[in-house]
Amino acid sequence: MIKIWSMKKNEDAAAKKKPKTSAAQIRVQKDLTELELPSTMKTNFPDLADLLNFTLTITPDEGMYKGGAFNFSFNINTNYPHEPPKVKCTQTIYHPNIDLEGNVCLNILREDWKPVLNLNSVMVGLQYLFLEPNADDPLNKEAAEELRRNREHFIYNVKHAMRGGNVKGVQYDKVLV
Amino acid sequence: MSIAVNGDASSSGWQNQYYHVDQVLDRPGPRTDPSFLAGDGVKDFLRNQCKILVIGAGGLGCEILANLALSGFKDIHVIDMDTIDISNLNRQFLFRQKDVGKPKATVAAEFVMNRVPGVKVTPFYGKIQDKDEDYYMQFNLVICGLDSVEARRWINATLVNMVDPENPESLKPLIDGGTEGFKGQARVILPTITSCYECSLDMLNKQTAFPICTIANTPRLPEHCIEWASVLEWPRVFKDKKMDTDDPEHINWLYNTASKRAREFNIEGVTWSLTQGVVKNIIPAIASTNAIIAASCCNEAFKIATSSAAYLNNYFMLIGTEGVYSYTFEHEKRDDCPVCGGQTMDITISRDWTVDRLIEMLVERQDIQIKKPSLSTPTTHIYFQAPPQLEEATRPNLEKKVSELVDDGGEMTVTATTLPFSLSIRIKYT
Ligand SMILES: [Zn+2]
């Protein structure tokens, strides 16, 4: 057997025994503890010991979704940051880029995810969806259509849905703060 | 002069079974390592002492097991969590039709033992994560022939963590083989000394993901329909029930759902095997690529075990997509690698020091330059600067003594905006 350990090893390399905190865990610690969230976003950890599962509440202070509180669940797996976090809206909301199951159309959550991105990028991206809903990437086609055709009426629908109203046969959750 | 020929399987041992291998073990050559013991010394080590672990008994694993057994390794262990599927038989040549449904590790072990006299192969049908450090400690070498990034990251991190500077035997060379269609790589990882698997993760080909709105609204490809079934329909229909990509019934459901969608949009090409391929992210395996990569891995294992020639430093890459091209280079260790990089600093403090005092000291140290550090151990969040809920929950720890939270010689992970990744500190008490 080759004598690897007799190779000239510097003291530092020998002292580099790492703790058994997983790479994903350390990266999540770094992402979370460096978050600088505006007052419109708040994280909540149902289990304080579990950093990999939590929720984010967004309360937009401008735009057509102002006055609502929108909840998203974050599930991070052990392949983070090589895989993006799984993010879903936990309420039924009227939004062109979010479907009734809570799936979110945000490029950095799928095709454009890169390990250099972090939880902050995702949260900022989500908040942006409420300031600038986008009719070009529809997940709720009815809502996207309405936004494209008649912006005024779309805004009316948003307000109505946020109060827990029914839009085109779909019952939306009440999300007013 | 007697020339050894390949023996036939029915005989209970071959004449001059190791005749060819002995040609390189009986005398030193210009490139042998100074520690090379020509003749009986090295043969005794290889055949009576060396214990090698093979992870994976699939396409690469079958080739690796056969190569190792034929080159004179006699104490081989193999781990695999899968059972044999009919689609494996074209390339996983240790398996026959009658073996379908049986564990790969067990069948492969029996096959090799029947075929190569004097070799002991010990199978384990299960996950690598089922085994602990004591198990991995018994081997001299580990060879991986895996198709999963996650499993590779796990074994890599485990072997790096096992290295104990006080105990040279704790350093287990890891030889990692991987193939993707006509491409492949073989590499030698000396945990903590050379670049590790995690150091090179950014070289991986990114798996293709389609925009979710394309899948939902404007599918054009059969893959779009399959992703629609797995990403959107499965959770909608089955709620929290987890999809198991190894369960044929789950694949069946996805296949049927995707086919229906494909018909609606006039898309052709949704098949059962494409469905399985897309959800498991499988790139078709090619027998010849597996053979080349497995041969390279076993060649390295043989050289490391015998020191009969210089081993690979440290990355061999094969590209067979257009012609046959190969390239060998030294992949560099990354200082900010979350597994093998970073620094571990020894910090000696008094047993009375509070966490707050420790943080103050870390911030003041000129040599590390950190601001707003957050601290944890593998089991405890000691102090987090943010988000508010975690800061509040960990704030009471600031007043506690470090010695109540961390044992003497225990390690802490420090993250901070000013650090590229993280810093490990080992706490010692005066
Ligand atoms: Zn590394």
- Rounded distance, CA B366 to CA B369, Å? 6
Q: How far is the CA of A135 from the centre of ligand 1 (A)?
A: 43
B21-52 burial, b for 16+ CB within 10 Å, e for fewer? bbebbeebeeebbeebebeeebbebbbeebeb
B180 lies in some domain:
yes
Q: How far is the CA of B330 from the centre of ligand 1 (A)?
A: 13
If one counts every other C-beta atom within 10 angstroms of the C-beta of residue B63, the result is 25
Instruction: Give A165's contacts (C-beta < 8 A, 6+ positions apart).
Output: A172
Q: How far is the CA of B89 from the centre of ligand 1 (A)?
A: 36
Considering CB atoms only, which of A3, A5, A30 is closest to B422? Answer: A30
- Rounded distance, CA B337 to CA B141, Å? 23
Q: What is the dihedral of CA A53, A59, A62, A68, to 10 degrees?
A: 120
The answer to whether residues B172 and B48 belong to one domain is: yes
Q: Is B140 at the interface with chain A, CB within 8 A?
A: yes
CATH number at residue B425: 3.10.290.20
B303-312 burial, b for 16+ CB within 10 Å, e for fewer? bbbbbbbebb
**Which residue in this structure is represented by tokens 């190791």?**
B18
- Rounded distance, CA B393 to CA A144, Å? 42
- Rounded distance, CA B138 to CA A43, Å? 45
Q: What DSSP state is assigned to residue B62?
A: H
Segment A168-173 shows an average pLDDT of 96
Mutation test of the interface with chain A: which of B43, B48, B161, B213, choosing the one with the most A Cβ atoms within 10 A? Answer: B213
Q: How far is the CA of B411 from the centre of ligand 1 (A)?
A: 19
CATH 3.40.50.720 fits A20-171, yes or no: no
- Rounded distance, CA A114 to CA B243, Å? 25
Query: What was the pLDDT predicted at A16?
Result: 44
Q: Are A140 and A157 in contact (CB under 8 A)?
A: no
Cα B351 versus chain centre, distance = 40
Ramachandran category for residue B408: left, alpha or beta (phi over 0 → left; psi -120 to 50 → alpha)? beta
- Rounded distance, CA B56 to CA B293, Å? 14
Average pLDDT, chain A: 89
B34 lies in some domain:
yes
- Rounded distance, CA B371 to CA A56, Å? 26
Degrees, nearest 5: CA angle B59-B126-B152: 60
Residue of A nearest to B204 (CA): A82
B339 lies in some domain:
no
- CA distances to B151, B229, B411 from B156, in Å: 8, 34, 20
Q: Which residues of B touch A34 (CB under 8 A)?
A: 385-386, 415-417
Query: What was the pLDDT predicted at B3?
Result: 52
DSSP string, B291-360: HHHHHHHHHHHHHHHH-SSPPP-SEEEEE-SSS-EEEEE-PPPPTT-TTT-S-EEEEEE-TT-BHHHHHH
The answer to whether residues B187 and B144 belong to one domain is: yes
Considering CB atoms only, which of A27, A33, A97 is closest to B374? Answer: A33
The answer to whether residues B230 and B295 belong to one domain is: no
B340 lies in some domain:
no
The answer to whether residues B186 and B313 belong to one domain is: yes
B116 lies in some domain:
yes
How close, in Å, is residue A26 to chain B by CA atoms?
7
Nearest Cα residue to A7 out of B310, B139, B138: B310
The answer to whether residues B397 and B252 belong to one domain is: no
- Rounded distance, CA B205 to CA A154, Å? 41
Instruction: Give B414's contacts (C-beta < 8 A, 6+ positions apart).
Output: B362, B370, B373, B374, B375, B422, B423, B424, B425
B3 lies in some domain:
no
pLDDT per residue as tens, chain B (430 positions): 445 554 444 445 678 889 999 999 999 988 788 878 889 989 999 999 999 999 999 999 999 999 999 999 999 999 999 999 998 999 999 999 999 999 999 999 999 999 999 999 999 999 999 999 999 999 999 999 998 888 998 999 999 989 888 888 999 999 999 999 999 999 999 999 999 999 998 777 667 788 898 899 899 999 999 999 999 999 999 988 889 888 889 999 999 999 999 999 999 999 998 999 899 887 778 999 999 999 999 999 999 999 999 999 999 999 999 899 999 999 999 887 878 886 678 899 999 999 999 999 999 887 777 889 999 998 899 999 999 999 999 999 999 999 999 999 898 999 988 787 788 899 999 9
Query: What was the pLDDT predicted at B57?
Result: 97
B1 lies in some domain:
no
How close, in Å, is residue A139 to chain B by CA atoms?
6
Q: How far is the CA of B315 from the centre of ligand 1 (A)?
A: 14
The answer to whether residues B167 and B106 belong to one domain is: yes
How close, in Å, is residue B375 to chain A by CA atoms?
9
The overall longest dimension of chain B from CA atoms, in Å, is 82
Residue where a domain terminates, one of B280, B302, B337: B280
Beta bridge partners of B400: none
The answer to whether residues B61 and B179 belong to one domain is: yes
At A130-145, the pLDDT tens digits run 999 999 889 999 999 9
Q: Which residues of A touch B359 (CB under 8 A)?
A: none
Nearest Cα residue to B273 out of B90, B93, B61, B125: B90
Are A5 and B168 a contacting pair at CB < 8 A?
A: yes
- Report residue B8: phi and psi, to 5°: -100, 155
Q: Which residues of A touch B217 (CB under 8 A)?
A: 138-139, 141
Start-to-end Cα distance in chain A: 68
At A48-104, the pLDDT tens digits run 999 999 999 999 999 999 999 999 999 999 889 888 999 999 999 999 999 999 999
Domain extents for chain A? 20-171
Q: What DSSP state is assigned to residue B419?
A: S
- Rounded distance, CA B94 to CA A37, Å? 56
- Rounded distance, CA A111 to CA B72, Å? 47
The answer to whether residues B197 and B247 belong to one domain is: no
CATH number at residue B238: 1.10.10.520
The answer to whether residues B61 and B142 belong to one domain is: yes
Alpha helices by DSSP H, B370-422: 388-394, 402-405
Q: Are B415 and B429 in contact (CB under 8 A)?
A: no
The answer to whether residues B21 and B134 belong to one domain is: yes
The answer to whether residues B22 and B112 belong to one domain is: yes
Q: Which domain holds residue B50?
A: 13-204+285-329
| Environment class of A44 (CB within 10 Å of its CB; exposed 0-12, middle 13-18, buried 19+) | exposed
- Report residue A71: phi and psi, to 5°: -105, 135
| Tokens representing residue B113 in the block | 């033992």
Predicted complex ipTM:
0.84
Strand residue runs (E) in B43-160: 51-55, 75-80, 120-125, 141-145
The answer to whether residues B221 and B241 belong to one domain is: yes
| Tokens representing residue B205 in the block | 């080909």
CATH number at residue B140: 3.40.50.720
- Rounded distance, CA B154 to CA B188, Å? 16
Q: What are the residue numbers of the active site of A?
A: 105
Are B340 and A138 a contacting pair at CB < 8 A?
A: no
Domain count, chain B: 3
